[in-house]
Structure 1
């Protein structure tokens, strides 16, 4: 929160000379000095970091003993399995964080078209990441029969009409082409909270709890048909075949407070044990035209 203007700065603006801690009208109490507020912020940051560190250890234990892993970290493995030399690829919503590195692109001789709703995001992509950068909405971008692979990582939840997006992808793919997406589950607790909180409130909290999120957040999330079951149904209605969904039962949205993280992990492990894919935290979907 932006602090009030110090009283001596206000007096200087008025052309008056005052002693720090006094107003032009006489002595009075003023706000606590900035160093005290900074000390409180530092203590809060230490508390959050300690909780995040402990939550990380919980995740490590669950990964080692129960095979519980985060879906976002597994997306590159799914992508590597599909990539072939000289493929024509469309990266939807990659922006400044393309799913395929310039080095991998060059090594395989790929032709990559980057599509993002923000030209500013595309301009910040690493040099050589895209052969072509296109400012367009994922639900309306269509280049009939031009791509062997259309991929997106954490884009689908930001699309207002996912059915239109899947239709556009289907039209863009060549026969036998594939699409690959990493999608946060719209039925997960964090997604439900995301929809309830006002956009400004979400950014305020996330930027202070997870400062690194400034590099990745910025677009509102709608979670339109973003559960595994809904996604499978829409893909088949559009015409895709060989629809494969890999659910993941791990997320770190509550890692800033260890008790909340432990409670969430317990729910995730129960869903994983029950193989309830619609209660997963995220999933990777692959389908063929």
Structure 2
């Protein structure tokens, strides 16, 4: 009870700072940027099939008569077969027996042990001129480093105390294989993708809101990295790429 009260007070103080000083503590929406890129390419390319990887029962899009919406994940839930037109249960690291004009994901690739295999699978399943858009947490942000130090078992124990709103949504084991702007750019280009475009995001101090001094320290560090364009320490990045026409 004392711990929950202490954490609650710290989170309230962090929320007050974010409301009153959004330029310092506010976090630009990486999801809005990802959704913008997806929407623009849906309108421009008119894809006949879109594959979302790792969306499970929380998809980025809704079913539409304009395209076939395919979901892929290593696990399934009953709603998956209602949300998508087609659902595939497997790892993206393995060859996928579908074809798509667009591939999308959000907070997926940090959980994939072998992203080289995943990138190869993505390249092969996309049709010529196909595009993909991802949001990927970056491996050298303080939160990502802390996550690897704590480990998945302790992480699941801590989440109900430190981030109760994330219970059931996060807590999966994270590997962060190639998960940096430069690492993922090099990986995608190495598999044959072109027009690789990255936008880094720097603020994820909310993960440290359970303890105000840590929240302030990380926020200061994030703002410094943003000013100096130290992309290696970004909190995450939206990355897009295109498969060549030929």
Q: Does 1:99 align with 2:56?
A: no
The 5 Å alignment of 1:24-35 reads none
Deviation at 1:73, TM superposition (A): 5.0
Deviation at 1:209, TM superposition (A): 1.5
Q: Secondary structure at the match of 1:113?
A: strand
Deviation at 1:148, TM superposition (A): 0.9
Q: Secondary structure at the match of 1:177?
A: strand
The 5 Å alignment of 1:11-160 reads 41=1, 43-61=2-20, 63-64=22-23, 68-72=27-31, 74-84=33-43, 85=46, 87-101=48-62, 105-106=63-64, 109-120=66-77, 123-125=78-80, 128-143=82-97, 146-160=99-113
- Which residue number in structure 1 is paired with residue 240 of structure 2? 286
**C-alpha contact (below 8 Å) 2:163/2:207 kept by paired residues:** no
Deviation at 1:269, TM superposition (A): 0.3
Q: Secondary structure at the match of 1:134?
A: strand
CA gap of 1:190–1:75, structure 2 versus 1, over 3 A, is same
Select which of 176, 189, 199 maps to 1:223.
176
**Unaligned ranges ≥5, structure 2:** none
Select which of 191, 203, 212 maps to 1:258.
212
Superposition RMSD in Å: 2.1
**C-alpha contact (below 8 Å) 1:207/1:214 kept by paired residues:** yes
CA gap of 1:96–1:220, structure 2 versus 1, over 3 A, is same
> Structure 1 length as normaliser, TM-score?
0.77
**Unaligned ranges ≥5, structure 1:** 1-40
Q: Deviations over 1:5-43 (max 9, x none)?
A: xxxxxxxxxxxxxxxxxxxxxxxxxxxxxxxxxxxx1x4
Q: Which structure would you say has the larger Rg? A: 1
Deviation at 1:243, TM superposition (A): 0.3
Q: Secondary structure at the match of 1:283?
A: strand
Report 1 or 2 for greater relative contact order, CA contacts < 8 Å, sequence distance ≥ 6: 2
Q: Deviations over 1:196-252 (max 9, x none)?
A: 223211111112211221231242100000000100001111110000001001112
Q: In structure 1, what is the Cα distance between the partners aligned to 2:32 and 2:200?
A: 13
CA gap of 1:276–1:152, structure 2 versus 1, over 3 A, is same
Give the count of matched residue pairs: 240
CA gap of 1:187–1:194, structure 2 versus 1, over 3 A, is same
Q: In structure 2, what is the Cα distance between the partners aligned to 1:46 and 1:228?
A: 38
**C-alpha contact (below 8 Å) 1:249/1:282 kept by paired residues:** yes
Q: In structure 2, what is the Cα distance between the partners aligned to 1:192 and 1:282?
A: 13
> Structure 2 length as normaliser, TM-score?
0.89
CA gap of 1:201–1:68, structure 2 versus 1, over 3 A, is closer
**C-alpha contact (below 8 Å) 1:70/1:249 kept by paired residues:** no
**C-alpha contact (below 8 Å) 1:100/1:129 kept by paired residues:** no
**C-alpha contact (below 8 Å) 1:147/1:173 kept by paired residues:** yes
CA gap of 1:207–1:67, structure 2 versus 1, over 3 A, is closer
